Amino acid sequence: MYKEQLRFEEMLAYHCAPALKKQKCANMFHIQKHQFPHIEQLIETYNNKFNQQGIHFRLFQCDQMRVTVYVYDPEAISLRLSEPRIQNLLLHFDYPIILSRFVLHTWNNECLKQNIPTKLEYS
C-alpha cells in the first residue's frame, strides 16, 4: 500500500493543494478504482489526519470504475453558501436557497456518507 499512498498523495497535492491550505472551500479529482484498491482505507487515514484542522475527505461513485475524491472544509462551504450573492446565483439556476448552516451540516453528514451525487437536491 505504500506505493499506492505515494501516488494518492501526489494526486492530492496536485489537485487539492488550495483546499488543503484552506485557500479554497473544496477541490475534487477522479481516480481509477483499480489503481487504488485501498482507497477507502486511505480516505479514512486522511480524515483521521485532517479532520481536526477542518478538512474532510469523501468519496463519490464508489460503485463505479472511476471514483471521485472530494476534499472540503464544511465550515468554509457553509459560510460561502450563506452569502447573499451566492444564494442569488444558486436561485438563478434553480438551486434552493440554503437558509442556515444546519441544513448544510445535515446534508454533509447524511448525504455525503451515502455517496449521493454531487448536485444538491432537497425534497
**10-53 pLDDT, tens per residue?**
999 999 999 999 999 999 999 999 999 999 999 999 999 999 99
Burial of residue 55, with CB atoms counted within 10 A of its CB: 0-12 exposed, 13-18 middle, 19 or more buried: buried
Q: Answer yes or no: is 123 within a domain.
A: no
pLDDT of residue 103: 53
Q: Answer yes or no: is 15 within a domain.
A: yes
- Domain residues for 7? 2-114
Q: Answer yes or no: is 33 within a domain.
A: yes
CB 20 within 8 A of CB 56: no
Number of domains, the chain: 1
For residue 12, what are the contacts with CB-CB under 8 A and spacing of at least 6? 20, 29, 46, 69, 71
Type of residue at 103: V
**Per-residue pLDDT tens digits for 48-101:** 999 999 999 999 988 889 999 999 999 998 888 888 888 888 788 877 665 545
pLDDT of residue 107: 53
pTM (2 d.p.): 0.76
